[in-house]
Amino acid sequence: MKRFEEKVVLVTGGNRNTGLDIVERFVRDGAKVYMCGSSAASTERGAAILASRGVEGVVSQACDISDLAQVTALFDTIEKGSGRLDILVNNAANQGLGHGGPLEMDPAKFHEVFNVNVIGGFQVTQMACNRFFMKQETRGAVVFLSSNTAMRAIRGRTAYCSSKGAINSMVRALALDLAPLGIRVNCCAPGYIYTERWDVLDPAKAARRRLNCPLRREAKGSDIANVVAFLASSDSSNMTGEIVTCDAGCSCQHMPEDVDV
């Protein structure tokens, strides 16, 4: 029997980059997977990429997770299609890029990032619990995607780093309240992940980033999918409220090698 056979999984932001690899991982391990992007066009693009990779049976539906009506519609689809949900992966994120520094950024942009990363993640989780997990004998597992920038900030990304810190705290708070109910909530905190954004990166900058990693490489989406799969599976059945860092050792070093004297 495959690891996630008979399991139903929802991956938010499953239409692009890391989300695609997470979706693929669950499908290859036997799960029925639902995924969403924020718009119809981006979701359809993701569905086409999955089909081209031979990843079959995925149900995709556009859902802006910051919009409760769209979240409800997505859960209606899951209810109609599968009647249950076992695993929720809160992967979708607003990267908060191009906002400028904290002195000049528009505070409305800060709201946008929090509305997706924090409020969106919360309301999808709440709906997963109330509509499915609490009604099932085998409750459910939630995995959030945070970031190592929750612990060590990066420049020009105030809203994003703050939102990831909030996710880490939310994971612990949710885990505490939901543990007596049999629902586990854990989190993977990645460092650099190879995405399409690396394709247009100055090679010197990419090399510098890799030098910043003790393991000398960024994560592949599949590295992150491995951690997510572990946290979603019964292999981690005694873990909840954990933030598992997957960042090639970046967080354990004081300084990158070339400035370490």
Q: Is residue 13 involved in binding ligand NAP (CB under 6 A)? A: yes
Residue 200 CB partners (closer than 8 Å, separation 6+): none
Residue with tokens 């004998």: 137
> Of 38-46, 101-109, 228-236, 253-261, which segment contacts ligand NAP by CB under 6 A?
38-46
Residue type, 12: T
Comparison of 104 and 199: residue with beta carbon closer to ligand NAP? 199
Q: Is residue 19 involved in binding ligand NAP (CB under 6 A)? A: yes
Instruction: Among 91, 125, 212, 245, indicate the residue that binds ligand NAP (CB under 6 A).
Output: 91
Residues 145-164 that bind ligand NAP (CB under 6 A): 145, 147
Instruction: Among 3, 42, 220, 233, indicate the residue that binds ligand NAP (CB under 6 A).
Output: 42
CA–CA dist 64, 13 (Å, integer): 9
Tokens representing 21 are: 């690899």
Return the axis-axis angle of helices 107-114 and 158-178, rounded to nearest 10°: 30
Q: Give the interface size with ligand NAP as a residue count (CB under 6 A).
A: 29
Q: Is residue 64 involved in binding ligand NAP (CB under 6 A)? A: yes
CA-to-CA separations, 196 to 26, 89, 90, 160, 172, in angstroms, rounded = 21, 21, 20, 19, 31
Q: Summarize as ranges the residues that interact with ligand NAP (CB under 6 A).
A: 12-13, 15-19, 36-39, 42, 63-66, 91-95, 116, 120, 145, 147, 190, 192-193, 195
